[in-house]
Structure 1
Amino acid sequence: MTSEHEVPADELERFGAYARETSALTVMFHTRVAERMGLSPTDEKCLDLAMRAEGPLTAGRIAELSGLSTGAVTGVIDRLERAGYVRRVRDPHDRRKVLVEVTLADENRFSHLFEGARQTLLEVLGRFSPEERAVLERYNKAMIEVFRRHVVDA
């Protein structure tokens, strides 16, 4: 573990509690969104990964991004395909590869489900100055990077 500053035990405990509460709320939110889309939370998050990608992805890449096994991802893709959210297509550069392509004609079809989260973000960020938001952004980027390395890529 590399650290520039000592983190007192009480701060670690408080920030751990904040992270657990945020995680629980996020899971509950995405469970509700997924339910309204007719998906499981895992399927909804994998669809989100595919939608944010720059073009179609292989199942292996979805597995890397999600931390799921390739077998689990195959099941996710099967369910997303049956629900009409994705389709399997041949890679135009390597016909042996299969890519997963998002088929949502209207990606804004479910944007209303995320409006509360967007408003929450706007309200909370509005409480901080641009300088404070820069620190928050640095914290979030570091958290994502280190969390991915220690948990998802582990």
Structure 2
Amino acid sequence: MAQREFARLLQGLASEMNLLGHDFADASGLHATDVQALLAVLRAPDPPGITPGGLRTELGLTSGAVTAVLDRLERAGHVHRSRDEADRRQVHVHYHPGAARIAGEWFAPVAECTDRVRAEFAPEQVATVVRFLTRMTEELAELRRERRTG
């Protein structure tokens, strides 16, 4: 496969995932940035959860914008904030357990599509795809961090 075609296919996948995220945001009364914040909260180890400062760094937002995002996510029932037991000045953001139902209903068809497509491939092929996607995600995250700091 030509490099250009490969890049086009990756762009198409990224675009479809992004559009699904926008659709989820619209259906949930959220902003697209809120969905990115929600994904960052989901990726964070819980406990301790992610801090608002961690979200600011992850999303490249101002402190005020992070507060607005967290306020919207909290009002929508997706996240909750808690104070650190050892340092009460430190706030951690956690995914609200009840929110799994909301996202689950929306993204269940995505999971079904994933399962259907994955079933078309042998386990060793899936392992190769997983390795590729993992490395692409790592490289793109590093590129994003470099661009933000440099």
* TM-score (normalised: structure 2): 0.83
Q: Kindly report the root-mean-square deviation, in angstroms, between the aligned alpha carbons of the 2 structures.
A: 2.0
User: Aligned in 2, Cα 1:152/1:118: closer, same or farther, shift over 3 Å?
Assistant: farther
User: Aligned in 2, Cα 1:115/1:153: closer, same or farther, shift over 3 Å?
Assistant: farther
State whether structure 2 residue 122 is matched by structure 1 residue 125.
no
State the alpha-carbon separation in 1 of the partners of residues 114 and 76 from structure 2. Answer: 30
C-alpha deviation, 1:46, in angstroms = 1.0
**Corresponding position of 1:148:** 141
**Corresponding position of 2:53:** 60
* TM-score (normalised: structure 1): 0.81
Q: Rg: which structure is higher?
A: 1
Which residues in structure 2 correspond to 1:7-22 (within 5 Å)? 11-22=2-13
The structure 2 residue matched to 1:26, chosen from 17, 35, 51, is: 17
Q: Which amino acid in structure 2 is aligned with residue 43 of structure 1?
A: D
State whether structure 2 residue 125 is matched by structure 1 residue 93.
no
Task: Report runs of 4+ in structure 1 exceeding 6 Å deviation.
Answer: none
**Corresponding position of 1:5:** none
User: Aligned in 2, Cα 1:153/1:92: closer, same or farther, shift over 3 Å?
Assistant: farther
Percent of aligned pairs sharing the same letter = 28
Q: Are the equivalent residues in 2 in contact too, given 1:67–1:152 (CA < 8 A)?
A: no
C-alpha deviation, 1:21, in angstroms = 1.0
**Corresponding position of 1:77:** 70
Q: Which amino acid in structure 2 is aligned with residue 151 of structure 1?
A: R
Count of matched residue pairs: 144
Farther-moved stretch of structure 1 (68-77 vs 121-130): 68-77
Farther-moved stretch of structure 1 (18-27 vs 43-52): 43-52
